[in-house]
Amino acid sequence: YTLCGHGVMMGPAATACASNEAMAAALEFFRRSVKETSDLAMALAAIRASIKYIEDTKATTMMELRDDLTALVGLLSQSVEFSIQVASGCDLFMRFVTRAAIDVPDFEACKKLLTTRGNKLVEEFRASRNKIAKLGQPFIRDGAVVLTHSLSRVVLCALRRAAADKKRFSVFVAESRQDGAGVEMAEQLRADGIAVTVVADSAIAYVMEAVDLVLVGAEGVVENGGIINKVGTFQMAIVAHTLKKPFYVLVESFKFIRYYPLNQYDLPSGSRTRRSSPAATPSSSVHSSTTNLAATATATATTTGGEHAPRAMPQLSLPVGLSAGAPLEAGGLRSGRCDAVLRESVNVPSVVTEASPTGDVAAQRKIVDVDMIAPLVDYTPPAYITLLFTDLGILTPSAVSDELIKLYY
């Protein structure tokens, strides 16, 4: 689909031009919504874009509208790095389109019904985070140590609610490479006065003994009750399962999707392998691998277009019961000391280079000139998930398929 010119068109050509312009407007509306409304889930932004298209379209039949909406979903999916939320939201909205076509034969009346139902659906789903946060409160007990991964708005909402209820708890946040979303999560928790510590992704097993429960969000919930989420979630679930720690998923039902991955390589986006380029070589070598989190550090944040920019890291405290350089008491790690591993700086580039005695840049480039696998997400099978907290209630993974049937049929 491309924008038409402004010449005079007649008949089918004019209709096609108007349709393309409506689609381009919906795509721009989606991009603007995602950029300007930070608390709006991508699935809901996609539904709002579909509503925008219905309002602007010059389609004259239900079949034409349905085909155009399908094409719009493809455009929306191509405009984001990982599209499972777009797919789940639009798939759910298309169910309304199909049902409305049956309930209301008149096309114009059907369009108005879809707009009304769609806007109501978005408002109901936007309220779902508070409902989920309320369901999770009995599981966040006073004195608990929580582990989470990446930046999940619904997990953040639940933790904020627990803090507002005067519960005394602390949080470990996995830093979440490649984009450092865990650091952003830590910044927000710290701003709310919640004790938080950023943990290197490779140190999840190290801190798991000190953890009472794991709370994660999800990009999507598949048919068997497993989840697709930021890469690193699966390994966190494996460690939690091995050490018998509850692994809870907080997720809205609009992320339920009719999809059944068989393994990690069966995900919609697959595994992305990137070639390190000389331009990606860090400008300076890392001379120290341990820096106290109490000092200011920096993190790598992914920005539009794949560029990386430094971001200031706030001062972060150790969780309740953990003290730097002192033996840990009951409820923390059972032996040893809270050493520099827990306080490791997040200021480590994706590929660490050794210092060159001669300062030769080419010598550094040889070290990073390798292929690397950098998947965006991974798949966590249902066997590793304890419960899912949703706006439909608290579910076991096996109950997801039944809820999908209710949603779509």
Q: Which among 36-50, 206-220, 265-279, 352-366 has the top mean pLDDT?
A: 206-220
Q: Is the pLDDT of residue 270 over 60?
A: no
The answer to whether 351 touches 300, Cβ cutoff 8 Å, is no
Query: Does residue 403 register a pLDDT over 70?
Result: yes
Note the pLDDT tens digit of each residue in 289-340: 333 333 333 333 333 333 333 334 344 444 443 333 333 333 333 333 333 3
User: Is the peptide bond preceding residue 364 cis, with omega within 30 degrees of 0?
Assistant: no
Residue 369's pLDDT is what?
65
Which is more confidently placed, 74 or 346?
A: 74
CA dist 257 → 70, 86, 92, 173, 273 (Å): 16, 10, 9, 27, 26
Distance CA 95, CA 72 (A): 15
Is pLDDT larger for residue 70 or for residue 173? 173
- 327 bridge partner residues: 337
Angle between helix axes 84-103 and 107-126 (nearest 10 degrees) is: 140
**Amino acid 269: pLDDT:** 52
Decide which of 316 and 108 is more confident: 108
Rounded to 5°, the CA angle 12-86-376 comes to 130
Out of 211-215, 306-310, 366-370, 376-380, the most confident range is 211-215
* pLDDT above 90: percentage of residues in the chain: 43
Q: State the number of CA atoms in the 13 A half-sphere of 83 facing the CB.
A: 16
In this structure, is the dihedral angle defined by the CA atoms of residues 45, 50, 55 and 58, taken in order, positive or negative? positive
**Res 344 pLDDT > 60:** no
The answer to whether residue 203 scores a pLDDT higher than 70 is yes
* HSE-CB for 80 with a 13 A CA cutoff: 26
Q: In terms of pLDDT, which residue wins out, 215 or 278?
A: 215
* Pairing between β-strand 227-230 and β-strand 220-221 as defined by DSSP bridges: antiparallel
In one-letter notation, the amino acid at residue 19 is: S
Q: Is the pLDDT of residue 354 over 50?
A: no
Q: Is the predicted pLDDT of residue 14 greater than 70, yes or no?
A: no
Kindly state the percentage of the chain with pLDDT values over 70: 70
- Which residues have CB under 8 Å from 307's CB, separation 6+? none
Residue 105 to residues 53, 54, 70, 332, 358, Cα–Cα distance (Å)? 20, 16, 20, 64, 77
Q: Which of 121-125, 351-355, 393-397 has the lowest mean pLDDT?
A: 351-355
Q: Is the pTM of this model over 0.75?
A: no
Three-state DSSP state, 368: helix
Strands (E), 95-155: 145-149
Strand order in the sheet with 227-230: 220-221, 227-230, 377-380
Which range is most confident: 222-226, 301-305, 369-373?
222-226
Task: Give residue 368's pLDDT.
Answer: 57
List strand residue ranges (DSSP E) for 61-187, in order.
145-149, 170-174
* Gap between the Cα atoms of 64 and 61, Å rounded: 5
* Closest CA relative to residue 388, chosen from 189, 155, 157, 212: 155
The least confident of 103-107, 249-253, 339-343 is 339-343
Residues recorded for the chain? 409
Given a cut of 50, whether residue 226 has pLDDT beyond it is: yes
What is the spatial distance between Cα 216 and Cα 214, in angstroms, rounded to a whole number? 7
For the cut 60, the answer to whether the pLDDT of residue 4 exceeds it is: no
The answer for residues whose C-beta is within 8 angstroms of residue 408's C-beta and 6 or more apart is: 91, 92, 95, 258
∠ Cα 371 374 377 (to 5°): 160
- What's the pLDDT score for residue 307? 36
More confident residue, 351 or 19: 19
